Amino acid sequence: MSETTRKQEAVVEPTIFELSSPGRRGYRFPPLDVPEIDPVEVFGESQVRSVEPAFPELTEPEVVRHFTRLAEMNHHVDRGFYPLGSCTMKYNPKVNEDVAGLPGFTRLHPEVDEVHSQGALALMHGLARHLAAISGMDEVSLQPPAGASGELAGMLIVRAYHTDRGNPRSKVIVPDSAHGTNPASLTLAGYEAQEIKSDSSGRVDVDELRRLVDSETAAIMITNPNTLGVFESRISEIVEIVHGVGGLVYMDGANLNALMGIVRPGDIGFDLMHFNLHKTFSSPHGGGGPGSGPIGVTSELADYLPYPVISRDEAKSRGIEYYFDYERPRSIGKVHGVYGNFLVMVKAYSYILTLGPVGLRRVAENALLNANYLQRKLEAYYELPYKGYCQHEFVLSASRQKEHGVRALDVAKRLLDFGVHSPTIYFPLIVGEALMIEPTETESKRSLDHFVSVMIEIARESESDPDVVRGAPSRTPVGRLDEVRASKDLDVSWRQD
């Protein structure tokens, strides 16, 4: 079928102001039953509008249908495949949303005391213990509200630990394939980032690591499996080298989806790590909701966790079983509200209890299977810079396509025409024209095969008709934007003539 035949008319949805018509309404306030006041007298003339705001006027069905039509134009994980590498955009079971929507959770005030939040504290304490069991860590704080916040908390713990020993030290080692938040987090904690190159297999160059470490090495931040989708098979050596100079080993837990039930980071020598509840434990993220980045540590570092720590007193000597423990003189302090992003925790807790230990292992196994299936199907059509089995994700390169004038960005845009979201592109930075693909465990073989067929067709188009790929997308509500202009000349205002 030709591109001209397949091309659809662009869907143009008017703005809500264009749909507005004077006199329409979807609500009506009851008559005022309290004394009317003059806002100028209460707030002052400078704080009161001289002209009423020009709100759109529509009926309730018009508003609902407008925003429903807009929602249908967006791509989201409930609509189609979302292979966004490093982000673990898995399908989020709706039962978790139902549980998080229970009134006892949604009506919980963020400043409520322990006496009136025993159920919430029991859930949080239980979730922390589950995360500790999954990771092999001894203690977990749920306070950090996102992955980067968990990283920062971890680096502040590293600093506090070394400071107590007489020297905070000055540098933290990060691989060249690290997440961009890693060097940012350690810099905020007062450290200097020291990059270490990957070897030819995509793993940390262990010989180079031996040359880099010294008495000023506070820690190494390492993602395992790393952002290339490669397991750091020499991790025991890495741990031994860093521990040998008194440093700590931090694991970025963004890729824990590949390890659950198979490998526990604490068992292979990691001292601390953060979790992404909004990735591994299936809470919506990005446009779908907030994140949560709990931090787990070994017993040696437990005193430094953010306070208050949720503790349990089975004897109820205080009159309650679960309480906030503020008696942490070595704590790095608060990094967020004491309840963290609570509803994200509820969803993660529901997810863990639903699957159980066997189910969590199956999650990891299926994530590995799906990623390796896609890699084997696509390596003949795109460059595969690092050979061998991958973990839960893998990185291709569009370098072959670039020879025909087609970039990774073009491939990403063309995927939209087939109802598939783009993978992560141009990351990790060590791979030119990178296409970072993570299918997650929730995709069926049919979904994966559709993605494979689309990627193969785009590879063929790149050779036979590259203009089609360079001009994509052509079947979406909006075509390709001028991204430079959109960044420098963004205008989202609405003006009434």
What digits encode the pLDDT tens for the residues 413-427?
999 999 999 999 999
DSSP state of 386: S
* Average pLDDT of the segment spanning 370-388: 97
The predicted model scores a pTM of 0.89
Distance, CA of 130 to CA of 346 (rounded, Å): 13
111: which residues sit within 8 A by CB, 6+ positions away? none
SS3 category, 384:
coil
Say what the pLDDT of residue 288 is: 59
Distance, CA of 215 to CA of 460 (rounded, Å): 54
Residue 85, CA distances (Å) to 341, 380, 480 in order: 24, 20, 22
* No. of helices (H) and no. of strands (E), the chain: 17, 12
What digits encode the pLDDT tens for the residues 164-213?
999 999 999 999 989 889 999 999 999 999 999 999 999 999 999 999 99
Instruction: Answer whether CATH 3.20.20.10 is correct for domain 95-352.
Output: no
Distance, CA of 455 to CA of 449 (rounded, Å): 10
Say what the pLDDT of residue 493 is: 61
Say what the pLDDT of residue 3 is: 44
State yes or no: pLDDT of 481 exceeds 90.
no
Say what the pLDDT of residue 494 is: 53
40: which residues sit within 8 A by CB, 6+ positions away? 48
Which residues of the chain are in CATH 3.40.640.10 domains? 95-352
Both structure tokens of 474: 């052509």
pLDDT band at 6 (very low <50, low <70, confident <90, very high): very low
314: which residues sit within 8 A by CB, 6+ positions away? 321
DSSP state of 383: B
Largest CA distance in the chain: 79
Say what the pLDDT of residue 287 is: 62
Say what the pLDDT of residue 63 is: 95
Q: Which one of 21-30, 63-72, 255-264 scores highest in mean pLDDT?
A: 255-264
Which residues of the chain are in CATH 3.90.1150.10 domains? 359-476
309: which residues sit within 8 A by CB, 6+ positions away? 139, 141, 324, 325, 328, 331
Q: How many residues does the structure list for the chain?
A: 497
Q: Which one of 48-57, 84-93, 330-339, 483-492 scores highest in mean pLDDT?
A: 330-339
**Is residue 104 packed enough to be buried (19+ CB in 10 Å), middle (13-18) or exposed (0-12)?**
exposed
Both structure tokens of 86: 């490093």
State yes or no: pLDDT of 462 exceeds 90.
yes
Beta strands (DSSP E) in 226-271 are 248-253
392: which residues sit within 8 A by CB, 6+ positions away? 88, 225, 229, 255, 257, 258, 364, 367, 368, 371, 438, 440
Say what the pLDDT of residue 11 is: 59
- Architecture of the domain whose range is 359-476: Alpha-Beta Complex (3.90)
